[in-house]
Chain A
Amino acid sequence: MVPTSYFLVLSAILFGLGVIAFIFKRNILTIFMSIELMLNAVNLAFVSFSRLLGQLQGQVFVFFVIVVAAAEAAVGLAIIILIHRNRGTLNVEKVDSLKD
């Protein structure tokens, strides 16, 4: 079988790539996708620990994370549509009215 640490290393790499995407991307939709990537990395760690400890609670938490991600995607995408309607852009650098 595959050692658990392999899965945890992969989870850490995916989370880090999600953080990098969150910081470097300029399109608000892609930033949102990088949040989903980080949630997926956390789910992988949950499932690995659930398997290692022989307890199913980890998988139950994965379902709750997926539900929260779905709710977040619905509300977040509605906000993105609103931003696009009001400002005509998806670039986060142009959505800076709180700065002035």
Chain B
Amino acid sequence: MNTMITPQIAIFLILAAVTVAGAVSLILQRHPIHSALSLIVVMVALAGLYLLQGAEFVAAVQIIVYAGAIMVLFIFVIMLLNAGEEERTNVSRLARFVGVPLGIVFLLEVAYWIGRATAHLGTAPPEMVSTRDLSSLLFREYVFPFELTSFLILIALLGALVLARREESN
């Protein structure tokens, strides 16, 4: 494998750095609204990575549904509940000095071995997938699961409504 930095790899490295920085910021921030904004950064950078892989429609859906709808719902609830800063809890000394480094080492090791094990896959073939093919697959072969998801959304809507309703009697 050549280690030459092509423009695509440079863009990948920048977007990957933004993504990981956003995820680390989600962990380190104490206020939930800052965590939510970090997560939006992660999602927008991931949309860029999808674009880099030629999946334009997934990138658009990522921005519209994830960063647009789901995160707005999160921020709405954070504002509604007036969620304050997370209280600092006394993590035990063992967890802080053994658990955290062990967790980081384990994470890096898993990433390293996945990289080693999949290095032979090489680069993907350069042909682009078209949104037309994607839609014909979704609406021909997968039309039944697609219709089921609309029922799922409907039931989730009803469930959210029933759960969050204030009870009048009493």
Contacts and interface: CB of A to CB of B under 8 A. Distances in A.
Interface of A: 1-10, 12-14, 16-18, 20-21, 23-27, 29-30, 32-34, 36-37, 40, 43-44, 47-48, 50-52, 54, 56-57, 59-60, 62-64, 66-75, 77-82, 84, 90-91, 93
Nearest to B159: A75
Q: Is the interface of B mostly helix, strand, loop or mixed?
A: helix
Interface residues of B, number: 78
Contacts of A64: 145, 149
B111 to A, nearest CB: 5
A2 B123 contact: yes
Contacts of A25: 27, 35, 86
Nearest to B104: A20
Interface string B14-35: 0010011001101100001001
Interface in B1-52: 1, 6, 8-9, 12, 16, 19-20, 23-24, 26-27, 32, 35-36, 39, 42-43, 46, 49-50, 52
Contacts of A44: 46, 49-50
29 contacts: A1-B8, A3-B1, A4-B121, A5-B119, A5-B121, A6-B9, A14-B20, A17-B27, A21-B27, A26-B89, A29-B77, A47-B50, A47-B53, A47-B58, A59-B55, A60-B138, A64-B149, A67-B153, A68-B152, A69-B70, A70-B69, A70-B153, A70-B156, A71-B156, A72-B156, A77-B160, A78-B161, A81-B164, A90-B32
